[in-house]
Amino acid sequence: MNGYIFSSLYFTILIFLLSVQFTSTLDCFDCKNCDSIASCTCDTIKSVDANNSYCILLRETSQGANNFEIRHIPWDYTPYISDPYHISVVETISYNEITRRWFSISNKIIYACQTDRCNRADLLKQLPANGLSLMLPDNWLSENLLRKSSKDTIICRECISENKCNHGTRIINADQCSVKICQSACLMDEKFDTTDRTQFCYESVCSDDESVDPKFLLSQITITAVYYINKKQLETVEMNVVCNGADCSRLQIFRDVRNKLQKDLNNIKPFLPMNHGNTIYSTSFIFLIMALLQAFISY
């Protein structure tokens, strides 16, 4: 009789643990009233499906104004994300014509996580003002992006984006692009696309339109990158380049950027390392409980 009772208890607990394993929700803070870090508090919690969403803290800077967000986002919101524990950034490397120096600014930074209430408002102030401080060697930037004083024109390959996707290899056939002598800047993009398949698409065009504000044609690189906390790995997913160099629209320039890209992880230490165990019971914990119950029944 006792064996029957313990067996029933064993299977009841097993079913409960398995149901928690596969149906658990994730609690994320959710507030839209954060105008500044100093005044930002958030007590509102939203429960979401842990299999389809993760929590985020976001800071975005535009024209000197900061926007803050505390919420959750679905997995398919950003197609290139492969792990919920990450820090993603959008940063721009620009050239100052007055100081003749290269500098980096942070446009957006997102901390993403998938444990209950991991996107606390007090962590907003820990998001580094400079993001990951993405940078490239000064000599490489000057050599590849700046126009030589002796040059009036540059070489710009013109590629149409919808025909210049590389099916995941990040290398396309240069014969697909025509060569144009350009008076102004060459604008280039490499972006991640999953419309039909996972691939990177390339676009390059000469901007000889005189109506374009010259400040938008200054040499710079804007990089969207993701640092995966668990893998300790940085991946670039999009790049936008404004180039005034002699032949900077060569197709290898994006590979050069990835190989030479520098980052600074010191300012994100408050987020590294941390316990990223999911709020859902782990499989190993379930097996441990099963073993203990089985031993108790046998006894």
CA distances from 157 to 22, 176, 223 (A): 51, 9, 21
235 to 93, 100, 226, 229, 250: CA distances (angstroms): 17, 29, 5, 11, 21
Provide the CATH topology of domain 25-89+107-130+265-279.
Answer: CD59 (2.10.60)
Which of 10-19, 123-132, 233-242 has the least mean pLDDT?
A: 10-19
Position 36 confidence tier, pLDDT thresholds 50, 70, 90: confident
pLDDT value at position 281? 39
Structure confidence at residue 287 as a pLDDT band (50, 70, 90): very low
pTM recorded for the entire structure: 0.80
User: At CB < 8 A and 24+ separation, what contacts does 4-8 make?
Assistant: 6/293, 6/296, 6/297, 7/297
pLDDT band at 294 (very low <50, low <70, confident <90, very high): low
Average pLDDT (239-263) is: 89
* 232 backbone φψ class: left, alpha, beta (φ>0; ψ -120 to 50): left
Q: Is the pLDDT of residue 5 over 70?
A: no
CA distance 87 to 123: 13
The confidence score (pLDDT) of residue 292 equals 55
Domain boundaries, the chain: 2-24+282-298, 25-89+107-130+265-279, 136-261
Lowest mean pLDDT of 9-18, 60-69, 102-111, name the range. Answer: 9-18
- pLDDT for res 35: 75
Tell me the pLDDT band of 96, cut-offs 50, 70 and 90.
very high
Residue 282 pLDDT class (50, 70, 90 cuts): very low
How far is it, in rounded angstroms, from Cα 182 to Cα 170? 25
Flag whether pLDDT at 223 surpasses 90. Answer: yes
Per-residue tokens: 24: 């658990």
- In angstroms, rounded to a whole number, what is the distance separating the alpha carbons of residues 209 and 231? 44
Residues 6+ apart with CB under 8 A from 195: none
**What pLDDT, on the 0 to 100 scale, is given for residue 1?**
53
